[in-house]
Amino acid sequence: MKDRTAIVTGSTSGIGLAVARTLAARGARIVVNGLGRGEGERIAEEIAQVHGVPAAFIGADMSRPDEVSALVEEANDRFGSVDILVNNAGVQHTSPVETFEAHWWDTVIAVNLSSNFHAIRAALPLMRVQGWGRIVNIASAHGLVASVNKAAYVAAKHGVVGLTKVVALETATSPITCNAVCPGWVLTPLVERQIEDIAARDRLSMAEARQRLLFEKQPSGTFVTPEQIGETVAFLCSNAAAEIRGVALPVDGGWTAR
């Protein structure tokens, strides 16, 4: 991936950070993205030092279409290309449908689904001019199946899978591919908060809450690691995956095999 530029949204922690590090290890220039400028700049500096590649932090509020487009434009201006786009930014809110606050619905859809569209819309013309591109959307097992109390998240992630298929078809005769990765439970700050909620609600220890969360959905009983998602993304960006188009690839410990 030497001389390729990769934008990874939501890459100051969790899955996004692991993806950014994995692509950097393969030689890609990295655009780190998130809301915390100080932390984002520190991470970009660390990636540059550890992997010997150019890296920069570009902040953007992924709920704002103009900022998403500006992120892609600034990355192209700074590095001269946008070759890889990994749409990873996400938020979560849980509640039954009848008490699900409208502003949370709008926020989850904006960040988890609409930002993917706006980033792809900005990046795709650049990839067509360059004659090469890889778009990887981080969806979820919840892009393939549903769970209670997650109306907005499940709707958004199903939408990401559908968007992925459309973009894959529209780029099918080109050297540009678009695919989705559908992680199961990954031990990220987002999932840690869900574990804390279970522990508090059911008066469990954190260890007991982790096991309950896992075995309810994930037959392997083991968390997927962010690094495993990073390696999956790197494979989809490789020449070996040039004819993998429009897939929603589960990395979920057997969750969606049931």
**Residues designated catalytic:** 153
Residue 71 CA: distances (Å) to CA of 7, 27, 126, 165: 9, 21, 13, 24
Distance CA 113, CA 101 (A): 18
Tokens of 74: 């600034």
Residue-wise DSSP of 106-133: HHHHIIIIIHHHHHHHHHHHHHHHHT-E
Identity of residue 123:
A
Strand-strand pairing, 84-87 and 5-8:
parallel
How many whole angstroms separate alpha carbon 112 and alpha carbon 240?
A: 28
For 140, phi then psi, to 5°, come to 180, 160
CA dihedral 244, 156, 212, 100 (to 10 degrees): 180
Phi-psi label, residue 106: left if phi above 0, alpha if psi -120 to 50, beta otherwise: alpha
